Structure 1
């Protein structure tokens, strides 16, 4: 197992990734010390023991992911694209603690024997990241140089195969994968792609060990997690919390103490799931803690819908956005999602009848599982959760009434589905 650092005290429980006092390399080393080196097999064993799972949305065990990289000439990529409109956590981490992310990249590169290391980030934060990388070059702290690559500002740009495609010089669009990226990724080389938050946790585990990592959070999915809280709360932004934190406590930290003022919460973002406010009492911020609600933390997004907002209208806006931001490389994306957006728009703003509901469910079944990437499936999951969470809204719309603010405030322009949704 990896030993704890003898020179630097461990960051306190809920402030680990954000325990440093500034983004600079000096502040980073003052807080965390130099990055220790360990044999590859020891790193993998420690990650298995720590139980770290990916923080980019899929939640795949990090130790298993690194273990799956086989063959020589490996490539390692830190994915900070964060195309999800409701998420700000990766950008916040890369501007507040970039050196933890790069440390994690170096640990992974050393473990799999990579000779190419990339950091993939949006243009808006690339100057801050470049500054951190230049600091490290000047200090000579890295055995491998990290190449900065700018991500497209699109929803699908962070999908694993889209990242690989962008690094090969193509568009940041997903593609069919017949062979896992860990075996054949960038130009056919074995490639490891990890979310930047995952990498920052890897860097801390390398310093303080798996038992320290497991000392907070849900035993099934331990550690801390970054969440972006938005919507109908008075305090919005990014927080670092132990996994397993009650969702009611998360909302209270955002200023929402009376769940009756909320209609529902969207967890996991635009590819996530709606949870009715009535079901939030026992829900916790972990995979196990959200399982009964049919949801997951995804990429750490908690978006609150106020009690006076129409869930169907909000969902229609999201589906319209997702239809506009698809790769349009397969039938479900080119035809299925736009049609689904029209149906959701009719459900939110038109006259609702049995035939329309049947057509909506038929379209959900046609699209589900047939996409070239996960984008259509994620959209279907979110819509199905909305139909369950907002069943009362559907009943009201059948009767031709809805008092929610999003409906009454809608523009009189009925030429097409809404193309945006308020996410602040």
Structure 2
């Protein structure tokens, strides 16, 4: 069972408190200062900008910029709480929707008031989350109408253009960009698509303005890997990955898969990396959705890369020919390497594809697969070469590449 652990300093407002496994009803949320009188839009924008809140869905875009862009847009606007957690190694969004639905709805309320939105949506695929949100909406009907929009659970369903497409009645598949949702989204009007943790932190920092910077610079993380139970954690920016590994009982890990499937693999020196969006990007990784998969000494990074790209290939939306062929080529070649059937030519192909496929799909799925291959070659060249002579014991015993090694259960 997935555990829960907070690494935030005592007394600091946090999302994993006060009773992390107990559902949040209206009375409990009001008792913690929830649904306060909203400050004026300009004041809230200044507060969010000063706190430095970034989006928690993957790209880490400054939240104040997104809010102001929608506020300055002409005509009606729409806000969406995006709770479709496509990353198999992440559980934070579903946990928030199941256990702290009022916090998410409060953040959606504040986003709507700041941008002048006429309607809100909660977009999700988890039935338990939907039930919790319905109960919360019945306890406190929102000032702006809010609809729950269910979708099928897939890797690409949470991509912002797929969110808009599904809410508008189509399939949850990405579309070509531009336009982006903030330009033309749901119903053709400018739309803010915000991750549910982003909205929850917006609510928390508004209720605790004196601690706004600390709230904005803390992260919900899903820590997994190996046979031990996964951990949903909350930690402040600057925390070393070694500290996270220690708290998740994964000391001595040989490597990490960062940011879900988007940040790639990292080998020697991973323990010195810190929980910081810009620092991880500069190191060639990414914080992404805050999912960190630790590889214990017995796990082979070649097998992990094959497993991850195999999952991505199976999750392709199959709309872009280059994504279908590219992910299949990457996954097939890495699977051959993990079996010991690869060659120097295969390694050369991986290097060429990892550079040439980036940025060519409608969404980030192909980029994620290419980055996994690139970081495997960068950090583990000797392991790749060794697999040309035969599989290692770890890869020989590995299960099929179906995503099971990456999937985490919601606590």
Q: Same fold (TM over 0.5)?
A: yes
More displaced 10-residue stretch of structure 1: 365-374 or 101-110: 365-374
**CA separation in 1, counterparts of 2:295 and 2:318?**
30
Pair 1:301 & 2:291 matched: yes
Residue 146 of structure 1: aligned partner: 146
Pair 1:24 & 2:21 matched: no
The answer to whether the 8 Å contact 2:80/2:194 transfers is: yes
Tell me the alpha carbon deviations over residues 184-234 of structure 1, each in whole angstroms, 9 at most, x when there is no partner: 11121010010000001111222222x512247xxxxx5211000111273
Pair 1:130 & 2:129 matched: no
**CA separation in 2, counterparts of 1:205 and 1:14?**
11
- The residue correspondences of 1:25-104 to structure 2 (distance < 5 A) are 25-69=26-70, 70-104=73-107
Distance 1:331 1:366, change over 3 A: farther
**CA separation in 2, counterparts of 1:338 and 1:319?**
8
Distance 1:320 1:88, change over 3 A: same
Residue 7 of structure 1: aligned partner: none
Residue 390 of structure 1: aligned partner: 380
Residue 5 of structure 2: aligned partner: none
Distance 1:359 1:329, change over 3 A: same
Q: Secondary structure at the match of 2:261?
A: helix
Alignment match of 1:313 (pick from 297, 303, 311): 303
The answer to whether the 8 Å contact 1:121/1:150 transfers is: yes
Pair 1:409 & 2:404 matched: no
Distance 1:375 1:410, change over 3 A: closer
Residues paired across the two proteins, number = 393
Tell me the alpha carbon deviations over residues 90-132 of structure 1, each in whole angstroms, 9 at most, x when there is no partner: 0111112111110000001011111110011123321122111
Residue 254 of structure 2: aligned partner: 263
The answer to whether the 8 Å contact 1:233/1:256 transfers is: no
- The residue correspondences of 1:281-360 to structure 2 (distance < 5 A) are 281-360=271-350
The answer to whether the 8 Å contact 2:12/2:214 transfers is: no
**CA separation in 2, counterparts of 1:133 and 1:56?**
23
**CA separation in 2, counterparts of 1:177 and 1:91?**
28
Root mean square deviation of aligned Cα: 1.9
The answer to whether the 8 Å contact 2:330/2:373 transfers is: no
**Gap runs ≥5 in structure 2:** 1-8
Tell me the alpha carbon deviations over residues 217-256 of structure 1, each in whole angstroms, 9 at most, x when there is no partner: xxxxx52110001112734221111111111111111112
Residue 418 of structure 1: aligned partner: 401
The answer to whether the 8 Å contact 1:316/1:341 transfers is: yes
Distance 1:204 1:292, change over 3 A: same
Q: Secondary structure at the match of 1:32?
A: coil
1:86 Cα offset (Å): 0.4
1:291 Cα offset (Å): 4.1
**CA separation in 2, counterparts of 1:33 and 1:280?**
38
More displaced 10-residue stretch of structure 1: 45-54 or 25-34: 25-34
Residue 4 of structure 2: aligned partner: none
The answer to whether the 8 Å contact 2:35/2:106 transfers is: no
**CA separation in 1, counterparts of 2:345 and 2:295?**
28
Q: Secondary structure at the match of 1:68?
A: helix
**Gap runs ≥5 in structure 1:** 1-10, 217-221, 412-416
Distance 1:364 1:289, change over 3 A: closer
The answer to whether the 8 Å contact 2:83/2:124 transfers is: yes
The answer to whether the 8 Å contact 2:88/2:403 transfers is: no
1:292 Cα offset (Å): 4.8
Residue 115 of structure 1: aligned partner: 118
1:380 Cα offset (Å): 1.1
1:421 Cα offset (Å): 4.3
Alignment match of 2:246 (pick from 239, 252, 271): 252
> Which of 1 and 2 has higher RCO (CA within 8 Å, sep 6+)?
2
Distance 1:380 1:14, change over 3 A: farther
1:51 Cα offset (Å): 0.3
